């Protein structure tokens, strides 16, 4: 459950960090599908960062994060 007022969320993503901090996607279709879905759902992010195996999404306000949480369904988005 997300705390009231929270604007940052970490989600699993097929990304690894290699030498010199370079990020490499282990599934080339994942980012394309994810960012197309964000655009289709009109979800706006304030910032996005990557880590080893995850993305950190920062939203403009807690309401945007709640909308993302209600709409985000990994199985539907990344179904092949």
Domain membership of residue 45 as a residue range: 8-78
* pTM for this predicted structure: 0.84
Q: What pLDDT is attached to residue 80? A: 56
The DSSP-derived string for 30-63 is: HHHHHHHHHHHTT--EEEEEEETTEEEEEESSHH
Is the separation of the CB atoms in 46 and 60 below 8 Å?
A: yes
pLDDT band at 3 (very low <50, low <70, confident <90, very high): low
Give residue for tokens 């929270």. 6
Q: What mean pLDDT is predicted for residues 50-57?
A: 94
Residue at 36 is within a domain: yes
| pLDDT tens figures, 13-48 | 999 999 888 999 999 999 999 999 999 999 989 999
Asked if the structure places residue 64 within a domain, the reply is yes
* Residue 13 maps to a domain: yes
Compute the mean pLDDT over every residue in the chain, rounded to the nearest whole number: 90
Q: What are phi and psi of 37, to 5 degrees?
A: -65, -45
Structure-block tokens of residue 58: 């920062």
Residue 1 belongs to a domain: no
């Amino acid at each position: 459950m997300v705390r009231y007022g929270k604007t940052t969320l970490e989600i699993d993503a097929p990304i690894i960090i290699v030498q010199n901090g370079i990020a490499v996607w282990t599934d080339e279709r994942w980012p394309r599908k994810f960012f197309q879905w964000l655009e289709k759902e009109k979800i706006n992010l304030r910032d996005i960062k990557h880590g080893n195996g995850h993305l950190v999404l920062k939203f403009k306000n807690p309401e945007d994060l709640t909308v993302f949480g209600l709409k985000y369904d990994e199985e539907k988005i990344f179904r092949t």
